[in-house]
Each structure stands twice: as structure tokens, then as C-alpha cells.
A and B are shown apart, each in its own frame.
Chain A
Amino acid sequence: SYVLTQPPSVSVAPGQTARITCGGTNIGSKSVHWYQQKPGQAPVLVVYDDSDRPSGIPERFSGSNSGNTATLTISRVEAGDEADYYCQVWDSSSDHVFGTGTKVTVL
């Protein structure tokens, strides 16, 4: 089955840039989607198809995908960005797969 690996945690100071990676075999050939989940809330889609943003998601959220790593970048981090972030892909052998999740802490 297809596996997506994320770092358990990322810490960033307000106003700085957070980068969250999502590793998978040849992930660059797949479309990667990212979700934000704040404590006690349902996940929210923040990036789809590698780098597109749903309406209402700030431009500070961006994505890229190449080779074996996809990256979600949060620019000018705010306290309200503190959350768990999950990557997700569809794989022909595994169907939908979520990454292990990354907790973003704003210092």
C-alpha cells in the first residue's frame, strides 16, 4: 500500500514561513491535497491539486510537488495557523491515503 510520511511537528515564529513536507514514492506523479485541522474541529481543505487554493483560503497557503516530496508552505504565519496538517493523495492500488499528519506550533 502507498505510504505518505510527514514530520510529526513543525515549530515556527509568527511572521515566519512554515514548510510541511509529505514524502511518498514518486509523489510528484500524483495530485496532492492538504487539510488543516484545528483542535476539536473537522478538517478543512486548504490546498488541492498540488497548488490550488479553495475560495476563502488565504494566499499565504501554497503548495508544490516534485519527485518524492510535496510541500505545503505557510507564509507570514499567524497564531491562527496553529493546527494539524494532513496531506492526501489518491493511489490506484490504495485508493485514498492520508499522510501521518504534522502539528504546527506557532511559538
Chain B
Amino acid sequence: GAGVSQSPSNKVTEKGKDVELRCDPISGHTALYWYRQSLGQGLEFLIYFQGNSAPDKSGLPSDRFSAERTGGSVSTLTIQRTQQEDSAVYLCASSPMMIAGGRETQYFGPGTRLLVL
């Protein structure tokens, strides 16, 4: 009965380095979301995966951000050439098969706290 897991829990990196953040969704959940939460701010949508459909990348803030989801399960969010403004908590969520009207619950992981020095 594991929930959404994310790794690492904390990441400190130097400006200009690349980072990879990992998300393991709840088993059987077909939808996976990445959000970013900056200090004192709400959650900002980044990218969405649903089954085998093409991902919705409309929330990615720049081309330095990319994500993939392998085998419909684990997802990796990659930030290239990190900048200080990338410092935030990166949250992953998953939900079961889509329900009409968007009623499915999104379950959040514990997040990865990224600090770019």
C-alpha cells in the first residue's frame, strides 16, 4: 500500500549543473503530474502524463525542463543548467484512470526540495 514516492528528498546543486528528480507513482495509477511549489506560493503545474498519450508539457517554464515516463510508471523530471530561480519543492502526484469531469483524486508524493546555489 505504498503511496507516491519521490527521490531524492533534498537536492543541493550548483548553478549550471543538471539535476534529475524521480517519481514512483501509486501502482496502477495511469495519470502522473509534476508540480512546482516555490516559497509561499501555490502549486504550479509543470507536466502531465496519461497512459500512452502524448504528455501535456504546457506548464514547463523553459526548454531547460523536460520529463519522461518510462513504461507508464516511473517518471523523471530533468532540469538542465539549473538557475537559482529553479529552487523550489517539486511535487509529483498520481491519479487513477481518468473520470469524466476531472473527479479523480490526485495523490501527492513528499516532494523533492531543490536548492540551487
Are A and B co-members of a single complex?
Answer: no
